[in-house]
Chain A
Amino acid sequence: MQQNEQLENQPDEQLEKQQKERRDFLGCLGGAIACGAATVVASAASSAAVAATAGGAVPPIPNFDWSKHQWAFGVDAERCIGCLRCVEACKRENNVAPDAHHFRTWVERYVTLEGEEKARIDSQADPANIAASGTDGQYRFANRYKDAKVEKAFFVPKLCNHCTHPACVQVCPTGATYKTEDGAVLIDHTYCIGCQYCVQACPYGARFFNEEKGVTDKCTWCYHRITKGLQPACVEVCPVSARIFGDRNDKQSLISQFIQNHRVQVLRPETGNAPNVFYVGIDKDVS
């Protein structure tokens, strides 16, 4: 309260009184804030302690211990035939709205025409492709480049990359999205407030807004299947093994072999998210 002593020299008593009161008030307020801060720090510390003690705990999933697995996904674009069975299976398995605008996984077609520099990209949500399938609940690529002069063309399946350093988890204000010990990035729909920061943060456009529930949604690698020893639905139905899924802790698993035997790459490594979906057979146009 040194400042108050200095102010005592001022001639105007009326003003002095007012200012003293204001300073007392601010002082009290400061004290209250300090108190509040102290409790917050204390509670954070205590909850950090809780988290630390829970380090070895495992969620109660029957016959499954997440500390023993490290999931990863492989995409062999050279094998993909663009049949879109994965897209349809994913929708059914995960109750995704059956329209052409909400997808947990999707397939893009990259076509470079002769004399053009950039690839033309379309996915099943393109109007021409919806028209080819007849409804927005079914998916098929229209044979639209049948008569074009094509330099190169290929299909690329896309899905959530389940990054090691996921930007979406960092920006979530409520702890509704998180990374599990075994490597999947999940969304807790009861805690999601639908602010869509994560949709903005994801460099891969893997998240979308589920208007019906008012929450964000995305691929879970079919967490309910992989924890039961099954493959994700998209991998299950792929007729040509363009999608590979498995456990990197198991050196004999398909995914470990895939990464070992191919020159794999990830999408947009420069963002620092460290994706866990590994691609073979794509080129610079794909990001």
Chain B
Amino acid sequence: MPRHIVRLVLIMVGFAVLAYGAKQFFTVDSFYQYGHYRGSSVADIASDKPKYKGTAYCASCHAPQLAEWSNGIHNRPDIGKVVRCEVCHSAGGERDVRGTFEHVSTGPDHPKNLKMVVPKDTRQLCTLCHERMTGRPLQQRQIVVAEHAGTQQCSVCHNPHSPRLNLVSAASTAQAGDAAAGKAKAAACAGCHGAEGVSVNAPGPTLAGQHAAYLHDALKAYIEGTRSDPMMNAGAQGLSDDDAANIAAYYAGVTCVSSLDAAKQATLQDKTTAPKCAACHGADGNSTNPSWPKLIGLSKAYLVNSLKAYKGGARKNGMMAGVVKDMSDADMDNVAAYYANATCK
């Protein structure tokens, strides 16, 4: 065989050996360990850190929110419907290499420099699941946003951590009290709440014309200690649940006529947050829902005190807590002035 051919063949053989050697050298050991792939890649992929941590993780630092949420409608594991913390607040674990997603993070830094989403625009958030939409199964509660909320944020009326509003309280389903029996018991209250429950410069608020269900709830709260006031604690001492129901029936039956000063109201309207309140307390403070108190007849001082009590946490109510959270002292003053105009004869 001519030499140039032999050379060529030698070069080719050399190349083949080199190629084979290179393949052996560069193929990682774990290739073919479990099959035609790099075996160590399985453990590599499995070693990634989970970013969604679950509600148990948040529990260690956010017990109040968790407690509220756990008892709320968004935690229904029994029917397989649970809206977890991280659905609204985004992942609690480290975020990706690229940094944050643009829409993420409004608040200050979370532990480990992670910014949690604090959803300010609940109209965007809640409607993801609750806007009435073609194709959305009927068992999901849905609303037509414009009719239901107008232009308001959902969080004005709904507490995002426990959104269901309790329309029918236990008291209003309980049997109605006996107004005559109540009248007898109520004699002891006149000193502070005025004769017939119309308070004029007395320490206690006007009770006349208030919803019976609300009065019953309020009294029960004092009796059970969930609402507390040095003077009123004494007033509620010794009352039984039946007494409370009877007294509530009595005061509810006493007429209280609203006589809003329309002129004064008109001048205040733009400064007040009153439109926010109308959905629950009625346009003129005369609510029609038995569990939501009427605001008519209450003094300005009492209104301001109550709002401050909700904000400070001394009075606890999911709905009112949501309402007063963003109100300044000036806002409270204005809105109280607005409703305090409603007097009872």
Which residue numbers of A lie inside 8 Å of B, CB to CB?
A: 21, 24-25, 28-29, 32, 35-36, 39, 43, 47, 50-51, 54, 57, 59-61, 64, 66, 78-85, 89, 91-93, 95, 98, 109-111, 135, 137-138, 140-141, 143, 145-146, 148, 150, 153-155, 175-181, 186, 188, 190-191, 220, 222-225, 227-228, 230, 233, 236-237, 239-241
Contact = CB atoms under 8 A, between A and B. Distances in A.
12 contacts: A32-B9, A81-B140, A83-B128, A89-B86, A89-B87, A98-B98, A188-B44, A222-B50, A223-B46, A230-B52, A239-B82, A240-B140
Interface stretch (B30-38, B155-163, B301-309, B331-339): B30-38
B46 A57 contact: no
B103 A240 contact: no
A61 B43 contact: yes
Contacts of A224: 45-50
Interface centre among A81, A135, A179 (most CB of B within 10 A): A81
Interface residues of B, number: 60
Given A81-B140, A188-B38, A54 B32 contact: yes
A111 B95 contact: no
Contact of A92 (B5, B95, B124): B95
B37 A81 contact: no
B16 A188 contact: no
Given A141-B133, A188-B38, A190-B41, 7 more contacts: A35-B13, A54-B39, A92-B101, A137-B103, A143-B131, A150-B134, A191-B41
B110 to A, nearest CB: 15
Contacts of B80: 79, 240-241
A51 B101 contact: no
A33 to B, nearest CB: 9
Interface centre among B35, B102, B134 (most CB of A within 10 A): B134
B81 A241 contact: yes
A186 B54 contact: no
Interface string B220-236: 00000000000000000
